Structure 1
Amino acid sequence: MKQLFFAAIFTFFALNYVSAQETKPLKTTDYSLVTNDELQTKPEFPGGVSEFYQYIIDNFKPESKLKGVQKLYVYFVIEKDGSISIVKILKGLDEKNDENLIKVIQNSPKWSPGIQNGKPVRASFNLPLTINFK
């Protein structure tokens, strides 16, 4: 019984330590990050989001044969200068295709940054993608 109690206490502290490690802030010089909902002016790809989808269609070439409709979710940060950083695939296809999609997004033309209180700010962006592979 005593061993079970100590095992439970150890597990509790171990889990809290692991979850605390996952919530550390990203290493960057500017920790301020604004979500799109909080912005006065949202970041925008040149020509709008439909042009960004076209940019992805033109530049993302899947590595493997995929069929059917695939839903993907991508998170990235638009920096104050409009460049893209911290690209993460929240729901992807497979490792190789996800890597290719990250490269395509990282190499995209600069966006107009988000504006808050008249100043450009770092902004997070969630992008849902639906791709129909034939």
Structure 2
Amino acid sequence: MDINKILTADILDLIFEGRNKEYGAYDLRKTYKKRLIISVTSMLAICLLVFLGSVLAKYVVPEKQTQILVEDVSLADVKQDEKKPEPPPPPPPPKVEPPKVEITKFTPPKIVKDEEVKPDEKPPEQDKLDDTKIGTINQEGEKSDVIAPPVEQSTGQVEAPKAQVEDYDKEFKTVQIEAKFPGGSGAWTKYLERNLNSNVPVDNGAPPANYTVIVSFLVDKNGNISEVQALNDPGYGTKEEAVRVIKKGPAWTPAVQNGRNVIYRQKQSITFQVSEG
């Protein structure tokens, strides 16, 4: 290279002086800045397009908003399968009273003086005994050869009904004092709202609507929760989410019947509200 051109020559020309510039290394280094500018500009343009697209999508396609409603459910609110009433039993046949038979009271014979015999203790006449039956009382009726049944005389005493023994190990649906969550219903509602994932239906593609799950569970004598099961399934993962949160719930205050802790069936309604943003 001419000595006068060294001061104005590019450093690449000095490095590749006398070498094969057609090999490719020279061209790569020569166009490096141009390629760097193009790549950086392209990357910034793509990032800008993605950002603008996400901003516009919020205005064109609004996001779905979800909300959870927790409501108490009484046993009467849940419709069970209605049982057809059984037909009434047939009326009992009319009671037929047996015909009364004439009875003459038999008086055991005693040897006493005539003046000491009382009128009701006089023995019946022999001819009357031929036409009537002998018994323990005097009774008017038909003369018959059928032996009259003995007449029972009531003592006037009525036996009191036997007291039923309450089974306190069974499952109670109605009690004197219902099971309660520590802190009351307000604390139970806060527990559910804090632990339930309200985005479950949206994440599973649920359209805007209300999805209500009714969950049934037992509170035992110690207040522990068991047998958690959903009575319905609106879909989109709402049933599984409601059962999951109630299963891991803390212990309750048990229900009381006649002063004893009993097993109580509790029901809870949880509504997932999905609406357009």
Tell me the TM-score normalised to structure 1 length. 0.67
Q: 1:119 to 1:45 in 2, by over 3 A?
A: same
Q: Which amino acid aligns with 1:90?
A: L
Would you identify which runs of 4 or more consecutive aligned residues in structure 1 move more than 3 Å?
A: none
Deviation larger for 51-60 or 78-87: 51-60
Match of 1:50 among 186, 190, 203: 186
Quick one: distance in 2 between partners of 1:116 and 1:102? 27
Gapped regions of structure 2 (runs ≥ 5): 1-167
* Identity across the alignment (%): 25
Please give the per-residue CA displacement for 1:71-90, whole angstroms capped at 9, x wherever unaligned.
Answer: 22111111111111111111
Q: Does the aligned pair in 1 maintain the 2:214–2:268 contact within 8 Å?
A: yes
- Write 1 or 2 for the structure with the bigger share of helix: 1
Quick one: distance in 2 between partners of 1:51 and 1:105? 14
User: Is 1:85 equivalent to 2:221 in the alignment?
Assistant: no
Please give the per-residue CA displacement for 1:89-108, whole angstroms capped at 9, x wherever unaligned.
Answer: 11233274322321210111
User: Is 1:63 equivalent to 2:204 in the alignment?
Assistant: no
Quick one: distance in 2 between partners of 1:70 and 1:97? 7
User: Is 1:123 equivalent to 2:258 in the alignment?
Assistant: no
Quick one: distance in 1 between partners of 2:213 and 2:222? 26
User: Is 1:132 equivalent to 2:269 in the alignment?
Assistant: no
User: Is 1:110 equivalent to 2:251 in the alignment?
Assistant: yes
- Structure 2 residue matching 1:57: 3-state secondary structure: helix
Please give the per-residue CA displacement for 1:20-77, whole angstroms capped at 9, x wherever unaligned.
Answer: xxxxxxxxxx961001xx2111100112223212211111114341433222211111
**Computing the radius of gyration over CA atoms, which structure comes out larger, 1 or 2?**
2
State the aligned residue count. 103
User: Is 1:41 equivalent to 2:177 in the alignment?
Assistant: yes
Q: 1:112 to 1:74 in 2, by over 3 A?
A: same
- Write 1 or 2 for the structure with the bigger share of strand: 1
Which structure exhibits the higher relative contact order, with contacts defined as CA atoms closer than 8 Å and separated by 6 or more residues? Answer: 1
Q: Which amino acid aligns with 1:33?
A: E
Tell me the TM-score normalised to structure 2 length. 0.34
Query: Superposition RMSD on alpha carbons, in Å?
Result: 2.1
Q: Give 1:129 deviation, angstroms.
A: 2.3
Gapped regions of structure 1 (runs ≥ 5): 1-29
